[in-house]
Amino acid sequence: MKSGSFRQYRSEIPAPEPAAVRSSCSWCHELNAVGRRFCAACGHSAHLPRLHCECPDCQHGRRLVEIGHAIDALQAQLDAYREARRRPQ
């Protein structure tokens, strides 16, 4: 074995992640690598505010809220229409 090969082997071992490239999840405070999109612990967007979470669960939830608001608006129009028809001309 040539001298120097051991040192080369050592340099291929990945260095442990420095603390600076990890930040805590805004949902569960789990530390995640900054490059990671979703939290390893809870699955939400690890580095976005909760309101802007891009995980499938939150996007689905927000879509349901939007549909709920649209249905409320239609229901209000329908109520107004029925009320107008009920009144004597």
List interacting residues with Zn ion (CB under 5 A).
25, 27-28, 30, 39, 41-42, 44, 53, 55, 58
Instruction: Write down the least CB distance from residue 26 to Zn ion, Å.
Output: 8
Considering beta carbons, is residue 17 or 79 the nearer one to Zn ion? Answer: 17
* CA–CA dist 85, 83 (Å, integer): 6
CA dihedral (45, 48, 49, 52) in degrees, to 10, reads -70
Considering beta carbons, is residue 29 or 69 the nearer one to Zn ion? Answer: 29
Considering beta carbons, is residue 22 or 30 the nearer one to Zn ion? Answer: 30
Q: Please state, in angstroms and as integers, the Cα–Cα distance from residue 60 to each residue in 27, 40, 64, 66, following that order.
A: 17, 20, 6, 10
Instruction: Write down the least CB distance from residue 36 to Zn ion, Å.
Output: 10
